A = this chain, B = another copy of it.
Amino acid sequence: MIQAVASTASPSPQDVIAACCSAARDAAKQLRSLPDPAKADALRAAAAALREDAADILAANARDMAAGEARGLSGAMLDRLKLDEARLAAIANSVEAVAALPDPVGEEIDRRTAPAGMTLRRVRVPIGVIGIIYESRPNVTVDAAVLCVRSGNAAILRGGSEAMHSNRALHASLARGLASAGLPEGAVQLVPTQDREAVGAMLAAAGGIDLIIPRGGKSLVARVQADARVPVLAHLDGICHSFVHASADPEMAQSIALNAKLRRTGVCGAMETLLIDQDYPHAAPLLAALADAACELRGDDMTMELEPRAVSASDEDWDTEYLDAILSVAFVEGLDGALEHIARHSSGHTDAIIASDMAAAKRFQAEVDSAIVMVNASSQFADGGEFGLGAEIGIATGRLHARGPVALEGLTTYKWLVDGEGHIRA
C-alpha cells in the first residue's frame, strides 16, 4: 500500500500515484512468475473473502446510496451504483469463474525455425501494470482487478466518488483474500484519494503504468484519450448498425432487429441505426413491430411514409448513441448504400447485416471496417462472455493491440524465445 510519509503534510496526488506505481511495479515482477495454481488459489481466496465480508460491503454501499439519493442522482445512476445480496453473490461467483479460466501466461503463440536454424517461440507474458479509471459501477473494482491478477498483471484502480465507500469495502475484502494467499500488497491497489489530479497523474505515468483502461461515460473516456501519455485501451461509442438486405428472411429480420434494439437498450452493442434496403419487401411490418414494442423511430421520408408513428430524423440522429428505446431508421440503395452510410456514421464497434444472399453477406463482412462485423446475428452479442472469452475488461474500438471484446489475452503481450546451439550471424 502507500508508505507512510515523513512530513506532516498530506502527500500530493502526484506522490500518491508515484507510490502506487512503485508498489505495483514491484508486485508485477512477482505476479509475472506466479504459477497458474497460485493465481487461481488467490482468486478463490478473494471470492471467499467477498462472501465473508458481505455485510460490511453492503453497509458501505448503503452509505453511497444514501449520499447519492441526497445528491439527486438519477434512477439509472442509482441502479448502476446499487449492490444487494444477489449482485454481490454474482460478483463473488464471477471471481471464481475467472479463477477457473485457463492461464494465458506462458502460452506458446507460435513457433518457427529461423533461416539460420534457431528455434523461435513466441510466448505470452503479462503486460505489467494496468490502471483502471472508472465511474459508477462498484463491481468494476472486483471485475477488473481479478482479470488483471489472472493474467499476471498488477492493477491500480481509481473509482468514482459516488461509489467511494463501496469501492473501498470491496477492495479491502479483495486485498485481504489475495494477501491470505501470499500475493503482495501492490497486486491490487485502490487509489486512496478522490482528488481529480490523481487521474491526471495516472494518465501521465509513462513508465509507471503500462496500459490504462477507462470504464465509464463518454466524457471520462474522452478526457483519458486526450490527456494520456500512457497507452489507452479505449471503448468508444457504440453507434451500431443493422442492415436488412433485400434478401433477408422477414422473420429473422424482425427477430434480430427487436433483440438488437430492445433486449437491453443501455449496452454498447445495442442497435442505434436500422438500415433497410429500399428493395426489402417487408419493411412496413418490421417498423410496426418496433413501434408496437414502444421503440421511438426517427427516420427518413420513406420511414415516415411506411410507419405513421415515426418522426423525422435530424442530421445529428445518424451519429447518436441513444442507449434508449429510440432508433434511427434509413432506407438505403442496396448493399452499396448501406456500406456508404456505415462508412460515414459507424463508430467502428459492431455492425450487422441480415441477408439470405451469402455473397452480399460476405461482401459486407469484407468491407465494413468495424471491430465486430456480423451476419444474421444480434449486435447485443458484442460481449466477451458471449464470445466465449470467459470474461471481459471492456470492448476496444481502437485499432492497436486488441480490438473488440478484451479478455485475458488482451491483458498480455508476448516475448520471443530463441533457442540456439551456438548460432552466430554471418
Q: Report chain B residues within 8 Å CB of A367.
A: 33
Does chain B have a CB within 8 A of A101?
Answer: no
Give, as a whole number of angstroms, the nearest-CB distance from A400 to chain B: 4
In contact, B400 and A401 (Cβ under 8 angstroms): yes
A422 touches B256 (CB 8 A): yes
- Scan A339-383; emit 1 where CB is below 8 A from any B CB, else 0: 000010000000010000000000001110111111111101100
B413 touches A403 (CB 8 A): yes
In the bound complex, residues from chain B placing their C-beta under 8 Å from that of A422 are: 249, 251-252, 255-256, 376-377
* CB-defined A-B contacts under 8 Å, sample of 27: A33-B366, A113-B388, A114-B381, A114-B386, A116-B386, A118-B374, A118-B377, A120-B387, A125-B369, A210-B399, A210-B400, A211-B399, A211-B400, A251-B422, A252-B422, A256-B422, A373-B415, A373-B418, A376-B421, A376-B422, A377-B420, A378-B424, A378-B425, A381-B418, A381-B423, A404-B415, A405-B416
- Answer whether residue A280 sits at the interface, using C-beta atoms and an 8 A cutoff: no
| A417 close to chain B: CB less than 8 A | yes
Contact A373 B420 (CB under 8 A): no
- Chain B nearest CB, measured from A393 CB (Å): 14
Q: Is A420 a contact partner of B376 (Cβ separation < 8 A)? A: yes
Interface footprint category on A = 35 or more
Complexed CA–CA distance, A115 and B377 (Å): 13
* Smallest CB gap from A385: residue in B: B115
- A399 CB contacts on chain B under 8 angstroms: 127-128, 210-211, 413
Taking CB as reference atom, which chain B residue is nearest A115? B388
Q: Are B259 and A400 interface neighbours, CB within 8 A?
A: no
Please report A residues at the B interface, Cβ cutoff 8 Å: 29, 32-33, 112-116, 118, 120, 125, 127-128, 206, 210-211, 225-226, 229, 231, 249, 251-252, 255-256, 259-260, 263, 343, 352, 365-367, 369-378, 380-381, 385-388, 398-401, 403-405, 413-425
For A116, A125, A400, A401, which residue has the most chain B Cβ atoms within 10 angstroms?
A400
Chain B proximity of A354: nearest CB distance (Å): 8
Chain B residues in 8 Å Cβ range of A260: 424
Q: Is the CB of B32 within 8 A of A375?
A: no
Known: A115-B386, A116-B386, A399-B210. A372 touches B404 (CB 8 A): no
